[in-house]
Amino acid sequence: MKKMLFWKADWFVGLLVALLFLFGANSDLMQSLERKAYDLGVRASSRIPSDKIAVIAIDDQSIANLGRWPWPREIQARMLDLLAAGHAKVVGNTSLFFEPQTDAGLAYINKISAFLDSSALKDSADQADVEQLRGLLQEAAQHLDNDQKLSASMARANDMLLPMFFELGQPQGRPDQPLPAYVQQNSLTNVSGSGPQPIPAAGALVPIPVLGSHALAIGHLNATPDVDGGIRTEPLVVSYFDQYYPSLSLMLAAKSLNLGPNDIQVSLGQGVRLGNLSIATDPALRMHTYFYADRDGKPAFPVDSFYDVLTGKIPTEKYRDKIVLIGATAAGVGTPQVTPISAGMAPVLTLANSVSSILKQDFFVEPSWGFAAESAIFLVVALYLTLLLPRLKAGIGATITVVLFVALLVTHFVLMTTQAMWLQLMLPASMLLVGHLLLTTKHFLLTEKGKLKSDADSAESNRMLGLAFQGQGQLDIAFDKFRKVPVDDSLMDVLYNLGLDFERKRQFNKAESVFRYMAEYNPGFRDLKARLAQSKAMAETVILGGGSGKTNASTMVLDKAGVSKPMLGRYEVEKELGKGAMGVVYLGKDPKISRIVAIKTMALSQEFEADELEEVKARFFREAETAGRLNHPNIVTIYDAGEEHDLAYIAMEFLKGKDLVPYTKPDNLLPLPKVLDIVARVADALGYAHTLNVVHRDIKPANIMYDPDSDAVKVTDFGIARITDSSKTKTGMVLGTPSYMSPEQLAGKKIEGQSDLFSLGVSLYQLVCGKLPFEGDSMAQLMFRIASEPATDILTVRPDVPACVVAIIDKALSKQVEGRYQTGNEMADAIRQCAAGLQG
């Protein structure tokens, strides 16, 4: 036996896939995929943001009214004064005050003051004028010094926090100079543990002294984008040489709780504790911020225009005891950030989400056991691809793969939405799909070669088997075998003889199938065209028995010279009247009493599998017997039922009229009074049948016969629908259409008489306006609408329908059985009362 090379083995392919994904786990592509799944988990979860946070936006409206950004800091001072008067708890301003804002006039004032101090004027006799001039210069300097105005407002309010910004990166030496004291007083000293260090910084940009010295606190405003540029985490602590500095969000949360830097405890590599709040982070002390989605069309955090607050349109009392964040949201000011819930979120809103995440404890967590769990899951998937999947059959393998994949996705989303935990499971999920696809492709390529060889061997075997079955007279099985053989000239001779054998057995429709199959290969073969035409003509006038094996009297040829009229039971078959869903309807005659009848035939052996045929036959005769007990002027009378060579038939009253289908067309509707009269009589018939526990199951216009000349109305096909319920046709579809079925019938529930009344309501609707109440582009959509959606308002189709007719239709089409007419007689009475009212 030839030994397979190891690199062709399935286990080697699985191992190769596992190693490929293992080495690519930290690639940008895989990490981006993990974060896309993270974003979906964030959007799938729901949290309520803190109601203590409000945003004042430097928006387009504010810039349009106050001028280009940056504004004079005197405007910021006025806003701070207003918020102080409104008793805001703390104010966080995201503007970067790294440089002084010097007014051009202030420089000249300072020059004049310097000149005055150094000139002879200071020693002049008129000292009062000099002092007055000096006072005017000092007043002008104060008026023009915006930084001093803002500083004074900050000193008065004592509630404003300012941002600083670090240049992230590993420092190579020592800083040029220490940070100012007003910055260092914000450093964190309560640090413990020996875990990994926070994100390092090599430089810092801090607020100017005149402002920073009066800030309530200072925190960094650094963001750390992921590999795809998205902002998902907040570095709560940054290390600057031998010092640790908190983020602005952490300081805002602390000051809102009346806490300071000394109340912030840092556990390196583990997390941060703020008072009684414990904030879990990754080893770099980054918090996985929860981003709050808008709710009910309203933003997660209230956002007011800076201009509206400044002009008093929005009273500052609104911000009492609030954490007020001031920042830019206008286009072109600042850089929007990509977050899990937005492709362009203003940094001030990102800050709001971070502060709320801290205060509400809504952050996501990578559990301490997460890496171990991720590694174990990766190993399980790798072993599955390497050892188990190659041993499984294709169907079972596909099922297990789908189950594992779905389990990974469900675990990811359940942990995020219910436990706020994030496990990176997209790596094993992707490996599972790719590995399964590669192994499946490999199997297909390898087995395709063997298939080509086996096809040639099986073709000859099927030819020999076909000839053997043909010799035994089992022509159907022989044809099945021949169809598995590629058609060539030699097989054409074999098939031609098979077609002749079917003709000898007078099974012309099967002969036609053989000749049509041959014509697809070579329509000019011998006299194939003539044979095909003759077989087709004969098949249209032939009733076939099933596979009973009895050939005598198993076919009936009508209007063929030299052939006597066929018989079904005691009835002579005169002519074909039409074709139904499961058989042909013939005009027949009972020669003993000269009664003209309609004979409906059903080839049960062709419609049902052999293992259910006997049960169906028994049901057929039970239903026929039940329908035969019905004696009502509006129900077709059943005379007889029987079976002839697996061909079941029902002999019934012959009707001259036609069904109501032509009268369902919009351009061929019957007058409304006539429609109501017909439907009332059908309701009478159904009411009668239901009292005998007989349910029709297939009420529709096609099963209601109407003769305009005699004004006779008859319901046909009682019991037939029940027989066809389990019919397995060659196309695999159940006969009939669900357009007229009740919701409980579509759901497979027990059917009572009210189901027929629902179908009658659908028929009434269609006869009145020419359209069906439920329509759909597909069978599934149609069935959903019948079961779940109200019918199309008939007044939108035909506005002149009387109100009483609309009420009758609405009640008949109730989804709930209890809401419909409970008996046919009740529905008939309602229709006749409506009709009488219309005539009056």
In terms of C-beta density within 10 A (0-12 exposed, 13-18 middle, 19 or more buried), how is residue 557 classed? Answer: middle
Cα-based torsion angle of the residue sequence 181, 185, 187, 188 in order, rounded to the nearest 10 degrees: 150
Taking each continuous run of H as one helix and of E as one strand, the counts in the chain are 28, 26
- Contact by Cβ (8 Å): 300, 360: no
Q: Which residues is 365 bridged to in the sheet?
A: 421
CA atoms within 13 A on the CB side of 93: 23
Positive or negative, the Cα torsion across 76, 78, 80, 82?
negative
Q: Which residues is 274 bridged to in the sheet?
A: 264, 277
User: 700 — phi, psi (to 5°)?
Assistant: -165, 165
Closest CA to 431 of 30, 7, 28: 30
Q: Which residues is 287 bridged to in the sheet?
A: 234
The whole-angstrom separation of Cα 180 and Cα 213 is 9
The whole-angstrom separation of Cα 676 and Cα 764 is 8
The whole-angstrom separation of Cα 18 and Cα 648 is 62
Six-digit token string for 793: 């308002």
E strands in 493-605? 567-568, 571-579, 584-590, 595-603
User: 195 — phi, psi (to 5°)?
Assistant: -80, -170
Can you give the three-state secondary structure of 342-368, one letter per residue? Answer: EEEECHHHHHHHHHHHHHHCCCEECCC
In the numeric block, the tokens 């979860």 are attached to: 45
The whole-angstrom separation of Cα 517 and Cα 482 is 11
Closest CA to 73 of 180, 138, 137, 160: 160
Catalytic residue check, 117: no
Six-digit token string for 444: 């297909």
- Contact by Cβ (8 Å): 268, 194: yes
Q: State the catalytic residue, choosing from 698, 717, 756, 810.
A: 698
Supply angle C-alpha 31, 37, 42, rounded to 5. 120
In terms of C-beta density within 10 A (0-12 exposed, 13-18 middle, 19 or more buried), how is residue 319 classed? Answer: buried
E strands in 515-646? 567-568, 571-579, 584-590, 595-603, 638-644
The whole-angstrom separation of Cα 5 and Cα 265 is 61
Positive or negative, the Cα torsion across 803, 807, 808, 813?
positive
Tell me how long the chain is: 840
- Contact by Cβ (8 Å): 319, 313: no
- Cβ partners under 8 Å of residue 781, min gap 6: none
Closest CA to 714 of 826, 831, 632: 632
Six-digit token string for 740: 């007229």
The whole-angstrom separation of Cα 401 and Cα 438 is 13
Question: What are the residue numbers of the active site?
Answer: 698
